[in-house]
């Protein structure tokens, strides 16, 4: 009988003859290490979007609030990650799922006007070729 080893941690395997991993943790670790690069890229972007959304929701408990930009910078908010744009009269809102912000400046201080998505925002007809930042 041949001794078999876990594909992840190299511990000796006991039990079934077709067993490849010693436990579910090793199986997950092995598959996570061997994922294609594009899957890792997608996971990192999704993780950043979730974090951004969490930060926006935290600072906007009542549907609308204003926060200094440097506060979110300090908490590693990633401004390049957003799910969609909402052009508005006063500027463009950058949304992460159901929370978004409008960059504003008051008395020389950069701030973010944070809002929760409203029903009227669902009817947006957006043409990227006619849009200017």
- pLDDT at residue 40 in the model: 86
In this structure, is residue 19 part of a structural domain?
no
In this prediction, what percent of the chain has a pLDDT beyond 70?
A: 93
C-alpha span between 111 and 74 (Å, rounded): 13
Q: Considering the domain boundaries, does residue 102 fall inside one? A: yes
Euclidean distance between CA atoms 117 and 88, whole angstroms: 13
- CA 113 from chain centre, in angstroms, equals 20
pLDDT exceeds 90 at position 128: no
* Helix ranges restricted to H, the chain: 24-33, 37-59, 69-74
Rounded Cα–Cα distance for residues 41 and 88 (Å): 31
Residue 7 included in any domain: no
Whether 6 is in a domain gets the answer no
Number of domains in the chain: 1
89 within domain boundaries: yes
Q: Is the pLDDT of residue 133 over 60?
A: no
Residue 132: inside a domain, yes or no?
Answer: no
Q: Supply the pLDDT for residue 1.
A: 66
Going by pLDDT thresholds of 50, 70 and 90, the confidence category of residue 34 is confident
Question: What average pLDDT does the structure give for the chain?
Answer: 90
Separation between Cα atoms, residue 104 and residue 91, nearest integer Å: 9
Q: Looking at residue 15, what DSSP letter applies?
A: S
Which domain, by its residues, includes 89? 24-123
Phi, psi of 129, rounded to the nearest 5 degrees: -80, -20
What CA–CA distance (Å, rounded) separates 91 from 115? 13
């Amino acid at each position: 009988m041949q001794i078999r080893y876990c594909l992840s941690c190299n511990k000796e395997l006991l039990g079934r003859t077709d067993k490849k991993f010693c436990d579910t943790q090793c199986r997950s670790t092995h598959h996570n290490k061997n994922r294609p690069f594009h899957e890792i890229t997608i996971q990192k972007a999704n993780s950043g979007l979730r974090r951004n959304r969490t930060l926006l929701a935290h600072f906007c408990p009542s549907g609308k609030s204003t926060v200094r930009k440097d506060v979110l910078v300090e908490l590693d908010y990633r401004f390049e990650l957003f799910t969609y744009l909402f052009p508005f009269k006063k500027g463009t809102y950058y949304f992460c799922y159901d929370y978004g912000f409008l960059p504003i400046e008051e008395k020389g201080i950069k701030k973010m006007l944070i809002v929760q998505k409203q029903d009227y925002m669902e009817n947006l007809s957006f043409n990227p070729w006619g849009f200017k930042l």
